[in-house]
Amino acid sequence: MSKTEEIFDKAKNEIQNLWNNNNELSNFVKFPDNLIFKNIKSKRAPVTNKLFNWREKLNTNHTDLHLAISDLSPYVNWEQGYEEKEVGKDFLSKYGFFELIGPTGHYETSEMALYVNFLDQNAYYPWHNHEAEELYFIVSGKAKFECKDQNIEILSSTKTRLHKSFQPHAITTIENQVLSFVIWKNKFENVSKMIKG
């Protein structure tokens, strides 16, 4: 096993351990037992170094998990999912995600999709929706979650937020950046779309 594969394996094991000890995650979707590692070319985003260097003031109950994801960040295929005309240049300088587990992820499976999502300080992720059912799990940091038909909540480490299919939602950070897992099930091949709040 190469050094890079060891870094991926450590992150996967930390996530699997989290799943085994968290009913909200395991009840939302079963962690796949048939994961296949794929050697996907890495691609950076403006936030790659921010996540890699985020090792202090973690504000997390999962330090080992956070550090495993930080270590992984230079080796993954970062995406942003939106064009500048949709969300603006400032948002794209503060946002990025990568599919760690899923149909096109570094670990291939058709049973779910797990995206690692990073949003920097003072960022606004505008109202959007998607067909997939979605569960956010906050690894580190803090953010305000708004969602149609739900109360506004400030979520921090270990907190979750469920979004139903096509349920509009938005996220805001202020003094904190936030690292989260975004887990999709059912129809996760369809992308997010910006909508009016």
Q: Is the pLDDT of residue 70 over 70?
A: yes
CB atoms within 10 A of CB 111: 16
Contact 129, 192 (CB under 8 A): yes
Please report, for the chain, the start and end positions of each structural domain, with discontinuous segments joined by +. 3-188
The H or E element containing residue 69 is: helix 63-72
* Superfamily (CATH H level) for 3-188: Jelly Rolls (2.60.120.10)
Predicted TM-score of the model (pTM): 0.96
pLDDT of residue 186: 87
Q: Is the pLDDT of residue 188 over 80?
A: no
pLDDT tens digit sequence for 76-96: 999 999 999 999 999 999 999
Q: Where are the beta strands (DSSP E) in the chain?
A: 36-37, 95-102, 107-108, 113-119, 124-129, 133-147, 150-156, 160-163, 169-172, 178-185, 193-194
